Chains A and B, each alone.
Chain A
Amino acid sequence: SQKIEQNSEALNIQEGKTATLTCNYTNYSPAYLQWYRQDPGRGPVFLLLIRENEKEKRKERLKVTFDTTLKQSLFHITASQPADSATYLCAPHRPDGSGNTGKLIFGQGTTLQVKP
């Protein structure tokens, strides 16, 4: 069955450093991979999407890579700030055989703590 794995342990880094979060998947060939941010007591918020034919995507201080050979996506936050502290979820998906968009499958999330 499809399996999504993210760093289960919290990631603690110092303000100003680059945070790198990993998303690995098995038994799956996603066409897209989305990253969401979730703050305590709130629903996830969409951040970035990368397609299987894109190696890298950037948005302000965020960068996502997608390696279909390694079956892995990396999510980077450069010049991290305490306000970046949250749980980050990856969600790969691909259109299903019926011609629909398909179903998102969420990883368990990685909690990032940025210390001042």
Chain B
Amino acid sequence: EAGVAQSPRYKIIEKRQSVAFWCNPISGHATLYWYQQILGQGPKLLIQFQNNGVVDDSQLPKDRFSAERLKGVDSTLKIQPAKLEDSAVYLCASSLDWSDITSTDTQYFGPGTRLTVL
């Protein structure tokens, strides 16, 4: 079974530029997550999708971050314009079905994209 795929693995940009990350979850997984992980911290949830709908985007800085999962499969996360404090690893994860109350929501993570904003 293929895991969660992410690209690119690394990205270096200047502040105020834009950047996009792509994620392809495990086949059949209804729930997709984007996390931001700053060095020395645990992953922080930015946005959660259930199929192609947004479940939680309460911690997404909506003035500069956007995300979509149009067909309920792969997803893109965009930052425009980037700030220095956006330097972090952006992790994508998927789980089978978050809406199933009997689920324990074990999440499967991709390798992440390391973003450096100069």
Q: Do A and B come from one complex?
A: yes
27 CB-based A-B contacts, threshold 8 Å:
A34-B106, A41-B114, A42-B112, A43-B110, A43-B111, A44-B107, A46-B108, A49-B106, A89-B43, A91-B42, A100-B55, A101-B98, A101-B99, A101-B100, A101-B101, A101-B103, A101-B104, A103-B45, A104-B45, A104-B105, A104-B107, A106-B43, A107-B42, A108-B41, A108-B42, A109-B41, A109-B42
Of all chain B residues, the one with the shortest Cβ separation from A109 is B42
Cβ of B106 to closest chain A Cβ, rounded Å: 5
- The count of chain B contact residues (Cβ–Cβ below 8 Å) is 27
Q: Which of B73-118 contact A (CB under 8 A)?
A: 91, 93, 98-101, 103-112, 114
Interface of B is mostly: loop
A95 and B105 alpha carbons, distance in the complex (Å):
10
CB of B50, distance to nearest CB on chain A (Å) = 8
Cβ of B26 within 8 Å of any chain A Cβ, yes or no, is: no
The A45-80 residues at the B interface (CB cut-off 8 A) are 45-46, 49
